[in-house]
């Protein structure tokens, strides 16, 4: 029988599994590091996506772009785990230029700027429609999944020190200068 006379008299705690009081048992060196990395990326993405739900929406955007979905955010965070990028950009908002005119002007500016960070900063101060224009377009350092998809893709995959673009996002058309990236394998 399952309940013998001796088991009835044993204390309750002897019949149950002891609680796990040491977090190293759950997240120690024996666990799958990739699974921990994925779970952390998923939780971080949920936090980013849930807070972006409260951001104001732009209804007048005419540029068709894919907005970040939860899967895109998790994918970027997982694929670029441990990386950070520092970038500057020049933004032409849809209210400044229509899409074709913006792309033409940015292409012209890209040829004039070359890959010179000083010329890029001067052009950003003069032309960019982003508040970062006052800082030469500098966005500072950021991690994967913190920018919109097209922007994020460029910052974590393209060559550092080279002006990229024009790149379309829901905010408009961009030229992007990736100034540094850390965490490369």
> Does the pLDDT value for residue 8 go beyond 70?
no
pLDDT at residue 57, rounded to an integer: 43
pLDDT at residue 32, rounded to an integer: 67
Other beta carbons less than 10 A from residue 62's beta carbon: 9
> Does the pLDDT value for residue 174 go beyond 70?
yes
Q: Give how far Cα 156 sits from Cα of 10, 18, 20, 44, 69, Å.
A: 60, 45, 39, 18, 17
> Is the torsion defined by CA of 178, 180, 182, 185 positive or negative?
positive
Residues 171-184: b if buried by 16+ CB within 10 A, e if exposed: bbbbbbbbbebeee
- Predicted confidence band of residue 178 (pLDDT cuts 50, 70, 90): very high
Better-scored residue on pLDDT, 71 or 183:
183
pLDDT at residue 44, rounded to an integer: 66
Tell which phi-psi region holds residue 70, choosing left (phi > 0), alpha (psi between -120 and 50) or beta. Answer: alpha
Structure-block tokens of residue 97: 């230029």
> Does the pLDDT value for residue 40 go beyond 60?
yes
> Does the pLDDT value for residue 36 go beyond 70?
no
Q: Where are the alpha helices (DSSP H) in the chain?
A: 5-8, 12-15, 23-27, 33-52, 70-79, 99-113, 117-127, 149-157
Q: For 93-144, what is each residue's pLDDT tens digit?
A: 999 999 999 999 999 999 999 999 999 999 999 999 999 999 999 999 998 8
Alpha-carbon distance 5 to 8, whole Å?
Answer: 5
Contact between residue 57 and residue 146 where contact means Cβ atoms under 8 Å apart: no
Q: For 72-87, what is each residue's pLDDT tens digit?
A: 777 777 777 888 999 9
Q: Region 160-167: what's the mean pLDDT?
A: 96
Q: Region 42-68: what's the mean pLDDT?
A: 49
Alpha-carbon distance 175 to 104, whole Å?
Answer: 12
- Predicted confidence band of residue 30 (pLDDT cuts 50, 70, 90): low
> Is the torsion defined by CA of 111, 144, 134, 58 positive or negative?
positive
- Predicted confidence band of residue 58 (pLDDT cuts 50, 70, 90): very low
Q: Give how far Cα 159 sits from Cα of 87, 147, 151, 176, Å.
A: 12, 18, 13, 11
């Amino acid at each position: 029988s399952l309940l013998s006379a001796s088991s009835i008299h044993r204390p309750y705690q002897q019949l149950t599994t002891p609680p796990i009081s040491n977090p190293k048992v759950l997240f120690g060196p024996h666990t799958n590091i990739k699974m921990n990395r994925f779970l952390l990326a998923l939780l971080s993405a949920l936090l980013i996506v849930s807070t972006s739900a409260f951001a104001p929406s732009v209804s007048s955007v005419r540029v068709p772009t894919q907005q970040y979905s939860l899967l895109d955010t998790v994918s970027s965070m997982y694929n670029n785990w441990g990386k950070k990028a520092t970038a500057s950009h020049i933004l032409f908002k849809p209210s400044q230029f229509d899409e074709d005119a913006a792309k033409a002007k940015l292409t012209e500016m890209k040829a004039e700027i070359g890959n010179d960070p000083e010329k890029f900063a001067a052009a950003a101060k003069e032309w960019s429609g982003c508040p970062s224009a006052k800082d030469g377009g500098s966005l500072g350092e950021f991690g994967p999944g913190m920018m919109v998809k097209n922007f994020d893709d460029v910052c974590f995959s393209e060559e550092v020190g080279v002006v990229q673009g024009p790149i379309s996002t829901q905010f408009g058309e961009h030229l992007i200068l990736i100034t540094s990236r850390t965490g490369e394998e």
